[in-house]
Amino acid sequence: MRPNILFLILDSLRSDRFISKLENEPNSNFSQLKKDGVLFSTTISSANATILSWSSLFTSKFPFKTGIRSTRFNKLDSKITTSFDILKKNGYSIFGYLPKLSETVGLFPEFENSDYLYDFYGGLTNGLAEKSIKKINSNLSEPWFFLLHAMDLHQPITVSKNFDDTKYGDTSYDRKLSEIDHYVGKIIQEIDMKNTIFVITSDHGDYIKSVKTLNTKLNFDQNAKNEMLISKFSKFIPTFLNPLKDKIFLKLEKQKNKQKSKILDNLNLREYEKRALLSGKADKDHFLFDELIKVPFLLCGINIPKNISIKQQIRSIDIFPTLFDFLQIESKSDTDGVNLKPLIDGMNFPENPAYIESNPLVLQKSNDVIGIRTSDYKYFRDKNNPKKRIHLFDLRNDSFEENNLSLNQNLVDKYEKILNSLIENFSDDVDENIHQSDEIEKELRKLGYV
């Protein structure tokens, strides 16, 4: 019988913060898992937000090929085979827990457990870990695939009293990661790792809105209690009042940004620190800096080689083709993702450019971008016009992406050509179902996406 699979997505988990925890806390649960498996520290998500990242991860295709994205959000193209379809075909029972947003996009299968949806603010640290442990211990039909998407690191972040201490990190993000590590340890204790493959990854990263200078400590994190109250009461506001509510929200966001800018004017901060602190939910101009798209991918358990770290760039779309190889399951032939097993085995393996795109806003039209990332350069530009909002960064010498080389026309042309080779003959302007788009955007509103 094939092994069971626990697939954990930690929403908003950045690779740099995860690696820092592994290096500074060698006895953490994450570190122990790394010693028992393979860590890809440079995994590039296809998008900077959940829906498009999901669409790519679970189909091993670039997001624009899945049908989920059009001029507005759509559901998955019914002709596309997902990784869940392949797992079911090979005898897997599918269980798991996902935020309620997941039911709107038509990507996920019918789960064996009817209680698979949870409130948006659910996470491992506030009941989801215990709920998952109870479910896993309830004699699930084997082999099982258990998908767990946890929102603990998604803004607004709340840290329990036991972990709200500087010994767990200077930011609420790092302290929360330590708290998550504790609960991951609880889950590990209940799993038969001799018959299980454990995957940890993320849908995307996030800006960390706090910074410490010599004389000042700034924290622009969202107020968790306020955000939860707003989300709760927003559900009861009549639809016809949405335009007024949106107008008030956008005005308040604009005022907040002005106030933050005044504070930062008097501080000597790096450009990457400023952009993180000034980022907001209603920003019209979108970007694809590594804080938002660089995530980890950790694979451990039965038949997985031990204590291997791979820094070479890979992509989230490569995760399931690789997992299927270890499961001895035939993968789809029409995917954009590739099997990374040769790379794990130490063979020379070509790096593939990672396609990346930004997530559109719901309340107003956003200036979205598309691009590619390689180990050497990051290139992105306006989604609809290759001559606008061009960004090009030398990642080898400018890891914080502060020096835009957009005037280097030869390099811009080179990477635009690579980007075009990925997107040619495809369009995300699929047939739009207005009812479906309204349904998805309504749910996004409830969850605080704008």
Selection from 91, 94, 99 nearest residue 119 by Cα: 99
Cβ 75 vs Cβ 106: under 8 Å: yes
- The per-residue pLDDT for 240 is 56
Structure confidence by residue, pLDDT tens digits, 384-424: 999 999 999 999 999 999 999 999 999 999 999 999 999 98
- Beta strands 308-310 and 314-315 are unpaired
Distance in angstroms (rounded) separating the CA atoms of residues 171 and 212: 9
Selection from 423, 358, 352, 426 nearest residue 389 by Cα: 358
Locus of tokens 């200077």: 170
Distance in angstroms (rounded) separating the CA atoms of residues 318 and 134: 31
Q: Tell me, rounded to whole angstroms, the distance of Cα 370 from its chain centroid.
A: 16
Position 63 pLDDT exceeds 60: yes
Structure confidence by residue, pLDDT tens digits, 32-51: 999 999 999 999 999 999 99
Residue type, 38: V
Percent of the chain clearing pLDDT 90 (strictly above): 67
Distance in angstroms (rounded) separating the CA atoms of residues 117 and 441: 18
CB-count exposure of residue 297 (10 Å: 0-12, 13-18, 19+):
buried
Domains in the chain, ordered, with CATH?
Answer: 4-207+290-344 (3.40.720.10)
Across 114-129, average pLDDT? 91
Which pLDDT band, with edges at 50, 70 and 90, does 431 fall under? low
Which residues lie below 8 Å from residue 391, measured CB to CB, with a gap of 6+? 287, 288, 369, 371, 378, 379, 380, 381, 401, 404, 406
Roughly how many angstroms between the first and final C-alpha of the chain, as a whole number?
45
Cβ 336 vs Cβ 353: under 8 Å: no
Which pLDDT band, with edges at 50, 70 and 90, does 228 fall under? low
pTM: 0.92
Residue 387 tokens read as 């001559």
Distance in angstroms (rounded) separating the CA atoms of residues 351 and 349: 7
Cβ 61 vs Cβ 77: under 8 Å: no
Paired with 381 in beta bridges are: 370
Structure confidence by residue, pLDDT tens digits, 252-291: 767 777 888 787 888 888 999 999 998 987 789 999 999 9
Across 101-106, average pLDDT? 84
Residue 120 tokens read as 């948006």
Distance in angstroms (rounded) separating the CA atoms of residues 149 and 213: 34
